[in-house]
Structure 1
């Protein structure tokens, strides 16, 4: 099996060497940015080609679906016998299915007020209790005295921010 040879460890010993390393990082970041930009262009071109090819297919599917819908609606009683919801054809199936019910509320605040006022309707109100994490973080000295609470992080994190010179 092939062994990986580790590169010799190099150390930054002077501020000039550190500046050179930060410069290399900046140059690499610029190259990454250019690669990402070319990827974004390629993805956009592929999406455009797909959408261009897919549009007439979607139109044909929609038109054919409407043709079948007309036939199905006109012949529903003879097609769906014995409580059936679909009919098998030699090339596939067509039928009906229940859609998911969706609640639409025009004015949430007015509805909530109405539910609160009527004792019989209060069961439709949900009360949610949750820990206020922001408040605990705002008072860390008190927060850590509570059993089961600890605060992690908050230390200094090393960063490198190279000067950026145009990404063109």
Structure 2
């Protein structure tokens, strides 16, 4: 009987992706790796570009960068997977999770838009671009239970991936 865990998404099946693991016996988080090489541009470089080339030229790059993991997670209906930054990322590399923490709901798994592909959303507050290599540990996931309020009446079913509940 499977209760919670990780799988590789279809698009990354043949790309040598590792499932998240805990680094030590008492670690709470499962370490996630980048599924491909990616660059997190320095925000200061983007700000300078914004002022020298105009807002229209920089509008697209002033957004956080999504780092793919090639991983999806399954869990109980009363659980979620919390995505957290590695403690060394802000200290050594000046990269932070743009959304503070990530919340992967149980119904994100196998959604029709992206199969539940988990991505970490980063911003780089350093002076230079940060290059992340495939297989490099980028963050951690912690399975947690959650409670519902009295009179909770949420009945809508998820129909998509990132931001799909924004329209509801």
TM range, smaller chain: under 0.3
Name which one, 1 or 2, has greater alpha-carbon Rg: 1
Of structures 1 and 2, the one with the larger relative CO (CA 8 A, separation 6+) is 2
User: Higher strand share goes to which structure?
Assistant: 2
User: Higher helix share goes to which structure?
Assistant: 1
Provide TM-score, normalisation by structure 2: 0.16
